[in-house]
Amino acid sequence: MGLRDNQVNKNKSFAQSFKHALDGLKSLVLTERNFRKHLVLAALAVLLGAVLRLSINAWLWVALAVFFVFSAEVLNTVVESIVDLLVGNRYDDAAKKAKDVAAAGVLLSALFAVLIGCLVYIPAVLALF
Ligand SMILES: Nc1ncnc2c1ncn2[C@@H]1O[C@H](COP(=O)(O)OP(=O)(O)OP(=O)(O)O)[C@@H](O)[C@H]1O
């Protein structure tokens, strides 16, 4: 992934912790296709929100939905990585359950985002007419 510095001991400073968190973000963007799709959709939601001049209350709901989806993607990627580390390419029922449930978390968060999107953007668009 191009992120290896071979460190295996604990971070010694906030700067080091922060750098590794940024490495994680970089890894998400570079390796997770679904995360990139959600990033683009979030950018579009922010753009549309700016055009529609959403209220602060509406922005809070949009932000909650966006970060909920991002968090679910992060958790999904963590689960996939750990499962792959443990079982590799071998089929395993527990591995399937872990990956499927993690994916279900992303699906639930995306449904929540769609719900918030409808509740926030439809009235904002209708208010233009
Ligand atoms: N080792 C395994 N044992 C059993 N089933 C597995 C295993 N690895 C993957 N699967 C099944 O294949 C599906 C896809 O797994 P994969 O690791 O490719 O996820 P992915 O393509 O990264 O998923 P996503 O679309 O969420 O990014 C899993 O949801 C699971 O049902």
* Residue in 96, 97, 107, 108 to alter for ligand 1 test, most ligand atoms within 8 A of Cβ: 96
* Residue in 85, 99, 108, 109 to alter for ligand 1 test, most ligand atoms within 8 A of Cβ: 99
Please state, in angstroms and rounded to a whole number, the distance separating the CA atoms of residues 118 and 80: 31
Q: Pull the structure tokens for residue 75.
A: 């958790």
- Report which of 84, 8, 77, 85 is spatially closest to residue 36, judged by C-alpha positions: 77
**ipTM of this complex prediction, to 2 decimal places:** 0.93
Ligand 1 pocket member 80 (CB < 6 A): yes
Cα 62 versus chain centre, distance: 14
Residues present in the chain in total: 129
Q: How confident is the model at residue 3 (pLDDT cuts 50, 70, 90)?
A: low
Give yes or no for residue 4 having a pLDDT over 70. no
Q: Pull the structure tokens for residue 104.
A: 């279900």
Q: Is 14-126 CATH 1.20.120.1200?
A: no
Ligand 1 pocket member 98 (CB < 6 A): no
Please state, in angstroms and rounded to a whole number, the distance separating the CA atoms of residues 83 and 40: 27
pLDDT for residue 2: 45
| pTM of the entire predicted model | 0.90
Choice among 35, 65, 73, 95 that is catalytic: 73
- Report which of 109, 102, 97, 107 is spatially closest to residue 79, judged by C-alpha positions: 102
Average pLDDT over residues 47-55: 97
Q: Pull the structure tokens for residue 72.
A: 């679910």
Give yes or no for residue 107 having a pLDDT over 60. yes
- 73 a catalytic residue: yes
Domain residue extents for the chain: 14-126
pLDDT for residue 22: 97
